[in-house]
Structure 1
Amino acid sequence: MKTIAIIGGGLSGLVSAIRLSRLDFPVLLFEKKEYPYHKVCGEYLSNEVLNFMKREELLPKHYDFPQINKFQVSALNGQSLTMALDLGGFGISRFVLDEFLAKEARMTGTKILENTSIINVEFGNNQFKLETSTNEVYQADLVIGAYGKNGVLDKKLERNHLNYEAPFIGVKHHIKTDFPRDTVALHNFEGGYCGIVAIENDQFNLCYLGRREDLKNAGSVEEMEAQVLKVNPFLKSIFDNAEFVYEKPVVINAFSFRPKALIENHILMSGDTAGLITPLCGNGMAMAIHSAKILSDTIAEYACSEQWDRQRLEMAYKQRWDATFKRRLWVGRKTQSFFGSKWSSNAALSVMKSSPWLANKIMKNTHGKPF
């Protein structure tokens, strides 16, 4: 069986590791941090993945996760729209989910190296050589890139999206507040938008996408929230009345939603590493999980025999990825252009309120189907 190295232990990396280990592939997963830990994420998981997660036993069973069936959106001027979610979903923190998946991966046979960063990957003679930050070297037949939005390897690989501005930041809080636990909300502010959704243990995820320049001008996350986010009355009420569970938020800096190449130097990219899904494009967590399924299925189909063909595997993966995500990512980027500014968000919301058919059409086109 072919040896597989996975760079990154987020959702796509862990799900790939579990499924491939269950098929008896030798899997080595490199994670730069140590489980469990918090990461910037909306922590809403749409039901497009629910049947798959249950079939594969990829969800912890001892939690009562909030069931989400309503969607609320607001503009800077305070007008809002609430509508039923077509599929719905549930809230779950990455702290809980990633830790559970990491334990499951180990149980299936995956070797996980925590606190280990891969700084270089070389391909030659149909083999990969991976070098860690501590100068250790590993060999693999296949490499999966699942290291998230940004990574050291992106620069090493000279990936095309790095030639463009990376104007966004992401910030996540966990809070306790009085908000409907069956609703996921998206509140616009100048330059971005902020989501809130219930997660486990009577807490809420409060996560937003903003502009680096606004953080630079404000001088701190707290001041930016006061100057920029609180212009929206919904966000002002949330921030002023919530109990913040942790002293400091989790922050990720300098990223964009530019399209990315799916395969770089024969490294098979997955999840955010393959194509960062916009918050207005459905659900990044679901996309990461679905992309892991597509990739692990493709590897199982094309890399089991001794006479395997790398080119055929790569072509099949690209075809399946494009068929599943290409339109969804495009629609999400186009939809995003109508949000995150005072005038466009107000106008977009007015149109959505006057045309429920259009609002539902946008939602259906930006969400995946159960698989």
Structure 2
Amino acid sequence: MDTQKQYDLAVVGGGLAGLSLAILQAKAGKRVVLFEKNKYPFHRVCGEYISLESWDFLNYLGLNLEQLSLPIIKKLHVSSPKGTVLSAPLTLGGFGVSRYFLDQKLVEIARKLGVDIHEGTTVKQIEETSSGFEIAADALRISAKMAVGAFGKRSNLDVNWKREFINKNRTSLNQFVGVKYHIDFDFAKDTIALHNFKDGYCGISAIEGDKYCLCYLTTKKNLKLAGNSIEKLESQILSKNPYLKNIFQNATKLWDAPEVISQISFEKKQAFYQHIPLAGDASGMIAPLCGNGMSMAFHGALLLNESLLSGQSLDDYQQKWNKQFAVRLRAGRIVQRLFGNEITTDLLVRSLTYFPSLTQKIIGLTHGSIIKV
């Protein structure tokens, strides 16, 4: 066991929720240790669009967003598999930034505040003790008064804990594959586009450095139909949408191979496991086409930080979490079911073009309000 330092908080997972919580706790004078299985900076499968509700929050954490000259996104284009297009303004809007860039900036802030960060370290178990928690991570054993899980969409801890969503039978909500590229392409920087295809959808939006994030979600079934080949999946299935065909034929991929993640689940999750509170994707995921998962990670970290600092119970955190996110997640699951089917998607896109107020209501249901800090 590491007896040199006793921590107030151990954070397992160094994504947006974990890093934000670590920074908030360090700002409050807490001794924090954070574990991340990868080494910074690195790419993650993510749409890389952040709602402007998070702008002030990120500035509070220590980022000077104005100086970063990030693309501001105020327009939405949605296309059906047949190419029918819906265009709508994004009332709140957002901005684009890669996880490679953003996570590294947050890591630098956390380290300056005294957070001990263990990169390239996999946590095997979190055990509750009489004085708090003990974290077993590779060759390390570290103790802390409180432990938090912020380990993303699916981890070895989810499996070890036999969480309910892991043991669910195959459903329409838990058999997804995510793929992401950075590309060079001629596309409006103030617009995010969501192009649907059979059993999936693909987003494109600008990020820093005149690059674009291209990220899509589809089913394991689609990948299997393409012979488990990403290249065939894109040419035979995604490219049936004329907009996606144009992208794959004319964009320059900036990586030799995409980032890929499988076994993505949008099933309901609890915001804690036993006495361990969870944050970010570990506590629940919204459908990526709703474009708000990154802001939810920030907001969830703020809620959990408030509960930890006030000494409130886990039930209180769960109640706050439900109040903030339950409607958004429910709306996201409904939208998830509507999009992807070729017939219903085309019908929905055509219908929404005649009802802009309904379009804004759907956008509003999946977005929050300005995060107050």
Shared fold per TM-score greater than 0.5? yes
Deviations 1:97-142 (A, max 9, x none): 000000100000100000001011111325212111x232111111
Give the percent of matched residue pairs that are identical in Structure 1 and Structure 2.
41
Choose the corresponding residue for 2:69, options 50, 60, 64. 64
Q: C-alpha displacement at 1:281, in angstroms?
A: 3.2
Structure 1 unaligned regions, length at least 5: 303-311
Separation of aligned partners in 2, 1:341 and 1:319 = 34
2:220 is the alignment partner of 1:204: no
Separation of aligned partners in 1, 2:21 and 2:291 = 21
User: What corresponds to 2:3 in structure 1?
Assistant: none
2:348 is the alignment partner of 1:348: yes
Q: C-alpha displacement at 1:147, in angstroms?
A: 0.6
Q: C-alpha displacement at 1:66, in angstroms?
A: 0.5
Q: What amino acid is aligned across from residue 277 of structure 2 in structure 1?
A: L
Q: C-alpha displacement at 1:286, in angstroms?
A: 0.4
2:237 is the alignment partner of 1:228: yes
Separation of aligned partners in 1, 2:72 and 2:270 = 35
3-state SS of 1:354 partner: coil
User: What corresponds to 1:308 in structure 2?
Assistant: none
User: What corresponds to 1:298 in structure 2?
Assistant: 307
2:332 is the alignment partner of 1:332: yes
Deviations 1:118-172 (A, max 9, x none): 011111325212111x232111111111010010000111100012233100000
User: What corresponds to 1:280 in structure 2?
Assistant: 289
User: What corresponds to 1:159 in structure 2?
Assistant: 163
User: What corresponds to 2:154 in structure 1?
Assistant: 150
User: What corresponds to 1:263 in structure 2?
Assistant: 272
CA RMSD across the alignment = 1.3
Retained in 2: the 8 A contact 1:159–1:261? no
Retained in 2: the 8 A contact 1:76–1:190? yes
Query: TM-score, length-normalised on structure 2?
Result: 0.94
Q: C-alpha displacement at 1:37, in angstroms?
A: 0.4
User: What corresponds to 1:130 in structure 2?
Assistant: 135
Retained in 2: the 8 A contact 1:91–1:200? yes
Separation of aligned partners in 2, 1:336 and 1:40 = 18
Structure 2 unaligned regions, length at least 5: 1-5
Q: C-alpha displacement at 1:251, in angstroms?
A: 0.5
Choose the corresponding residue for 1:184, options 168, 185, 192. 192
Q: Residues 60 and 103 (structure 1 numbering): CA distance in 2 closer, same or farther, change over 3 Å?
A: farther
Q: What amino acid is aligned across from residue 75 of structure 1 in structure 2?
A: S
Q: C-alpha displacement at 1:355, in angstroms?
A: 1.2
Retained in 2: the 8 A contact 1:18–1:105? yes
Choose the corresponding residue for 1:14, options 19, 22, 27. 19
User: What corresponds to 1:141 in structure 2?
Assistant: 145
Q: Structure 1 runs of 4+ off > 6 angstroms? A: none
User: What corresponds to 1:102 in structure 2?
Assistant: 107
Deviations 1:176-235 (A, max 9, x none): 010111000100000110000000111000000011122123131111111110010010
Separation of aligned partners in 2, 1:317 and 1:59 = 29
Q: What amino acid is aligned across from residue 187 of structure 1 in structure 2?
A: H
Q: Residues 112 and 2 (structure 1 numbering): CA distance in 2 closer, same or farther, change over 3 Å?
A: closer
Q: C-alpha displacement at 1:56, in angstroms?
A: 3.1
Q: What amino acid is aligned across from residue 49 of structure 1 in structure 2?
A: S
3-state SS of 1:206 partner: strand
Q: What amino acid is aligned across from residue 17 of structure 2 in structure 1?
A: S
Retained in 2: the 8 A contact 1:12–1:270? yes
Separation of aligned partners in 2, 1:282 and 1:174 = 17
Choose the corresponding residue for 1:171, options 165, 172, 179. 179
